[in-house]
Amino acid sequence: MKRKVFALLMSVLLIGAMVVGCGSKNSTDSKDTSGDASSDASQSGDLITIGFSQVGAESDWRVANTESMKSALSEENGFKLIFADAQQKQENQTKAVRDFISQEVDIIVIAPVTETGWETVLGEAKDAGIPVIIVDRMIDVSDDTLYSCWVGSDFKQEGVDAANWLVEYMDKQGTGDAEHNIVVLQGTIGSSAEIGRTQGFDETIAAHANYKILEEQTGEFTQAKGQEVMEAFLKKYDNIDVVIAQNDNMAFGAIDALKAAGKTPGKDVTIVSFDAVKAAFESMIAGDMNVSVECNPLHGPRVSELAKKLMAGESVEKIQYVDEGVYPAETAEKELPNRQY
């Protein structure tokens, strides 16, 4: 687009020069035409073009994240957004980033499927002089100049918060010294959320010898897979006390599996989840879920602010954590009206 506008301006200037040289009475009209072209170019140049590669639409959280980005990066806010859904495949994201580079976008935003495998394509973006903002899941690269900044959650702290809540909850129930058998529904293996939440929870709960993790298995962050894995856990173990689901959608699947097996989720089995989407609060009010650790998906406004700063040549903080909390069932009814996602 920039090349076309430049070519148009050059053509108008050349024509204007030829007309002036010939002493034409239409020289005023030529100036007006040039002014119109400059105005159009200015209006086009006011929009910051952003290419956004999203993981997919695997969960309610992800849908809310996408909506936040699209809302904040609108034309009304000074942006032109090119959106690409990766359908949870990294190869689709790599292709999308290369497409963004060829389209000469101003900034690339990536919500990565996994942490690794980004060196080459981000090197290409760097060579093209295009800043990159990473959102949600972190990336693992040897050269951190390959991206400008990261916006997201402290996933390890979320895991720590979940473990601490569980221990405190059992203490309040008067069962703090009892044996507690745990199964974990992990997210997509290798994603920042899975890595951080697994490490944070496992390391914290390991300090309590009466809490035993029976098994950890991925549910791919989807409700269907979460239910499938939970059904397998129930066939394998008859002593499950706690389910840790690394997102709400997998928790919903686990709840369905427990009910089908004749168990009462939230009572017979304690359900600890992550994300704190609106449906999780409804589940807590219904008595099915005990707690959800928040993972704030509303990244759009922060990304919008950072994009404008980067385009203005300003420096930004490398790590940008979003504000989050822990929401147990007893707070759900009060908090539900306040949820934006």
**Residues ≥6 apart with Cβ < 8 Å to 229:** 185, 217, 218, 219, 250, 253
Q: What is the mean pLDDT of residues 270-290?
A: 98
Q: What is the mean pLDDT of residues 10-36?
A: 34
pLDDT tens per residue, range 216-226:
999 999 999 99
Instruction: Report pLDDT for 17.
Output: 34
Q: Which of 204, 209, 212, 217 is nearest to 163 (CA)?
A: 204
**Cα separation of 55 and 86, whole Å?**
5
CATH of 47-153+299-323, one of 3.40.50.2300, 3.90.1150.10, 3.30.465.10, 3.40.190.10: 3.40.50.2300
Question: To the nearest whole number, what is the mean pLDDT of the chain?
Answer: 89
Instruction: Report pLDDT for 2.
Output: 38
Tell me which amino acid residue 45 is.
G
Instruction: Report pLDDT for 89.
Output: 96
Instruction: Report pLDDT for 12.
Output: 37
Q: What is the mean pLDDT of residues 261-271?
A: 98
pLDDT tens per residue, range 228-258:
999 999 999 999 999 999 999 999 999 999 9
What class does CATH assign to 155-295? alpha beta
pLDDT tens per residue, range 48-89:
999 999 999 999 999 999 999 999 999 999 999 999 999 999
Instruction: Report pLDDT for 118.
Output: 98
SS3 37: helix
Most confident of 33-37, 113-117, 326-330: 326-330
Q: What is the mean pLDDT of residues 197-208?
A: 99
**Cα separation of 145 and 318, whole Å?**
10
Q: What is the mean pLDDT of residues 274-301?
A: 98
Q: How confident is the model at residue 45 (pLDDT cuts 50, 70, 90)?
A: low
Q: What is the mean pLDDT of residues 274-282?
A: 97
**Cα separation of 98 and 104, whole Å?**
10
Instruction: Report pLDDT for 20.
Output: 31
Instruction: Report pLDDT for 330.
Output: 98
SS3 321: strand
pLDDT tens per residue, range 28-38:
333 333 333 22
Does 131 have pLDDT greater than 70? Answer: yes
Instruction: Report pLDDT for 328.
Output: 99
Q: How confident is the model at residue 312 (pLDDT cuts 50, 70, 90)?
A: very high
| 293 DSSP β-pair partners | 274, 326
Does 182 have pLDDT greater than 70? Answer: yes
Q: Which long-range contacts (CB under 8 A, 24 or more apart) does 205-211 make?
A: 205/163, 205/166, 205/167, 208/167, 210/177, 210/178, 210/179, 210/180, 211/166, 211/167, 211/180, 211/182
The more confident residue out of 41 and 267 is 267
Q: How confident is the model at residue 22 (pLDDT cuts 50, 70, 90)?
A: very low
Task: For residue 218, report the phi and psi dihedrals to the nearest 5 degrees.
Answer: -75, 140
